[in-house]
């Protein structure tokens, strides 16, 4: 049995002369143990017969979006695929994918698929070098699509240049790499990770509160990443209107005191606590029982300190390195790193993720973040601007290193 046993590959073939090579790709995939579902565009059908691919894969070849309407071929195929490979991919199909167009079975299927996608372009050099194609390819790679090639060599009509589809073996290697990058290491298997996310709200009266701009995106991304890496994850979510990531146990809270109770109730079983929530340092000393009235004048709201949950967890250990491993965040606007080092020490954390929230592309409510991870051992790791989900994995890389074996 080959190393792709149990893997379902959606093989999209589009209309270029290199479509004939898709037969070899199909054969190699089947030889490696994969189940291959070929989907041909109308253009591909003029270059390669469905019977060839059907014979090689032992599977039905599809091309018509109007066939099997009740079975929703496009949704079913898209959901079932572990990986999709378009070999060869024309400039037209690449443009459709970049624009999110869905006007045939292949493009509708790919729009419904969430699996990794490998695209092997094939076209004339001028088409490959055209600014429109370059922009479309950049869009796809920015979305995480694996674009492989094209290679240089003899093209249709005898021209020589960039635009040849990569060899079938290279396409299969790209499929393997895409599958590997989509299946992260289960390096947190057997660990329990508690993550806080969102922003606490401290009531002033029954309708008003003191709050902050945290949406929970960063903390939810960490919870999702930790679950994908095999951890048992408890997510303490403060006022976050986000869906619970798969496999994560959620505990909703509103105030800092509720967040503290939830965290302290979970800490004994935790190997790691990640405190991404923005927790209010102060709360109104008293909460008015009924709505404060404008007519009564401008109210003076006296504040009292909230407990610092991270510092409390840090103080409960005899020092860094003890369980649970503590990861704090610092949302800063002035001299972020220096303040981060101070906070790391003061709160007794093992790692502190410094967030410069004065940037428009980082911090509160953004989909991206740029952070510096400081360690109690003096380490400093900068994570360049990336999607919060990616930043989450880089933070967890540091956590895994800190946990040791
Ligand atoms: O949720 P998003 O919209 O994605 O935004 C993400 C974020 C900007 C909220 C996040 O990346 C972040 O920086 N979170 C920490 C925000 C914060 O409150 O920082 P702080 O410097 O005030 O607190 C430092 C650390 O102590 C934090 O880990 C905090 O959870 C913890 N803390 C703070 C106060 C308190 N009373 N108890 C605490 O445990």
Q: Looking at residue 145, which CATH number applies to its domain? A: 3.40.50.1950
Query: What is the rounded distance in angstroms from the CA atom of residue 27 to the CA atom of residue 99?
Result: 31
Kindly give the distance from the C-alpha atom of residue 373 to the centroid of ligand 1, in angstroms, as a whole number.
14
Identify whether residues 13 and 100 lie together within a single domain.
Answer: yes
Number of domains in the chain: 2
For β-strands 8-13 and 83-89, DSSP reports them as parallel
Evaluate: CB of 367 within 6 angstroms of ligand 1.
Answer: no
Q: What residues contact residue 376 under an 8 Å CB cut-off, 6+ apart?
A: 320, 321, 344, 345, 349, 350, 351
Rounded to the nearest 10 degrees, the angle between the axes of helix 217-228 and helix 388-403 is 50
CATH of the domain at 355: 3.40.50.10300
Kindly give the distance from the C-alpha atom of residue 328 to the centroid of ligand 1, in angstroms, as a whole number.
7
Kindly give the distance from the C-alpha atom of residue 226 to the centroid of ligand 1, in angstroms, as a whole number.
19
Task: Give the pLDDT score at 321.
Answer: 83
In terms of DSSP H, where are the helices of 200-328? 217-228, 256-266, 309-315
Q: Which of 331, 335, 340 to mutate to test the pocket of ligand 1 (most atoms within 8 A of CB)?
A: 331
Identify whether residues 375 and 285 lie together within a single domain.
Answer: yes
Evaluate: CB of 309 within 6 angstroms of ligand 1.
Answer: yes
Task: Give the pLDDT score at 1.
Answer: 59
Query: What is the rounded distance in angstroms from the CA atom of residue 197 to the CA atom of residue 218?
Result: 7
Q: Which residues of the chain have pLDDT under 50?
A: none
Closest CA to 252 of 264, 240, 265, 243: 240
Task: Give the pLDDT score at 58.
Answer: 97
Domain of residue 101, residue span:
8-181
Evaluate: CB of 200 within 6 angstroms of ligand 1.
Answer: no
Residue nearest to atom 20 of ligand 1 (CA): 330
Task: Give the pLDDT score at 207.
Answer: 97
Residue nearest to atom 31 of ligand 1 (CA): 310
Q: Which atom of ligand 1 is nearest to the CA of 371?
A: 11
Q: Which of 195, 277, 341 to mutate to test the pocket of ligand 1 (most atoms within 8 A of CB)?
A: 277
Task: Give the pLDDT score at 155.
Answer: 80
**What are the residue numbers of the active site?**
212
Flag whether 163 is in a domain. yes
Task: Give the pLDDT score at 212.
Answer: 97
Flag whether 2 is in a domain. no
Identify whether residues 81 and 58 lie together within a single domain.
Answer: yes
Where is the domain boundary, 146, 181, 216?
Answer: 181
Identify whether residues 306 and 344 lie together within a single domain.
Answer: yes
Evaluate: CB of 195 within 6 angstroms of ligand 1.
Answer: no
DSSP 216: S
Task: Give the pLDDT score at 385.
Answer: 85
Q: Which of 266, 279, 312, 351 to mutate to test the pocket of ligand 1 (most atoms within 8 A of CB)?
A: 279
Evaluate: CB of 47 within 6 angstroms of ligand 1.
Answer: no
Flag whether 375 is in a domain. yes
Query: What is the rounded distance in angstroms from the CA atom of residue 178 to the CA atom of residue 116?
Result: 6
Q: Is 107 helix (H, G, I), strand (E, B) or coil?
A: helix
Where is the domain boundary, 181, 215, 236?
Answer: 181
Flag whether 186 is in a domain. no
Q: Which atom of ligand 1 is nearest to the CA of 352?
A: 28
Task: Give the pLDDT score at 186.
Answer: 86
Where is the domain boundary, 181, 206, 226?
Answer: 181
């Amino acid at each position: 049995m080959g190393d792709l046993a149990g893997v379902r590959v959606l093989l999209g073939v589009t209309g270029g002369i290199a479509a004939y090579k898709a037969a070899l790709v199909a054969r190699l995939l089947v030889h490696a143990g994969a189940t291959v579902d070929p989907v041909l565009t109308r253009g591909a059908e003029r270059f390669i017969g469905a019977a060839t691919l059907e014979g090689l894969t032992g599977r039905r070849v599809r091309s018509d979006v109007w066939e099997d309407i009740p079975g929703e071929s496009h949704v079913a195929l898209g959901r079932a695929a572990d990986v999709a490979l378009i070999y060869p991919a024309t400039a037209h199909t690449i443009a459709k994918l970049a624009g999110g167009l869905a006007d045939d079975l292949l493009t509708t299927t790919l729009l419904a698929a969430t699996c990794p996608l490998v695209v092997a372009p094939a076209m004339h050099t001028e088409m490959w070098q055209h600014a429109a194609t370059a922009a479309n390819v950049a869009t796809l790679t920015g979305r995480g699509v694996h674009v492989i090639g094209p290679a240089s060599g003899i093209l249709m009509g005898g021209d020589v240049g960039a635009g040849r589809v990569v060899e079938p073996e290279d396409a299969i290697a790209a499929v393997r790499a895409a599958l590997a990058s989509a299946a992260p290491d289960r390096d947190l298997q057997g660990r329990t990770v508690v993550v806080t996310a969102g922003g606490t709200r401290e009531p002033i009266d029954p309708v008003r509160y003191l709050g902050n701009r945290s949406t929970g995106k960063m903390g939810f991304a960490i919870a999702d990443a930790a679950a994908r890496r095999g951890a048992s994850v408890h997510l303490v979510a403060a006022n976050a209107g986000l869906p619970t990531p798969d496999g994560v146990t959620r505990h909703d809270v509103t105030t800092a005191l509720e967040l503290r109770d939830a965290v302290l109730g979970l800490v004994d079983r935790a190997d790691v606590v990640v405190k991404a929530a923005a927790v209010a340092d102060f709360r109104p000393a008293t909460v008015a029982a009924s709505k404060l009235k404008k007519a009564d004048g401008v109210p003076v709201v006296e504040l009292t300190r909230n407990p610092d949950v991270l510092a409390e967890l840090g103080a409960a250990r005899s020092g860094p390195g003890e369980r649970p491993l503590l990861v704090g965040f610092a949302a800063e606007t002035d001299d972020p790193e220096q303040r981060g080092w101070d906070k790391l020490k003061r709160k007794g954390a093992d790692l502190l993720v410094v967030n410069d929230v004065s940037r428009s592309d980082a911090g509160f409510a953004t989909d991206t973040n740029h952070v510096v991870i400081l360690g109690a051992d003096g380490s400093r790791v900068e994570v360049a601007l990336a999607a919060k989900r990616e930043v989450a994995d880089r933070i967890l890389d540091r956590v895994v290193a800190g946990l040791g074996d």
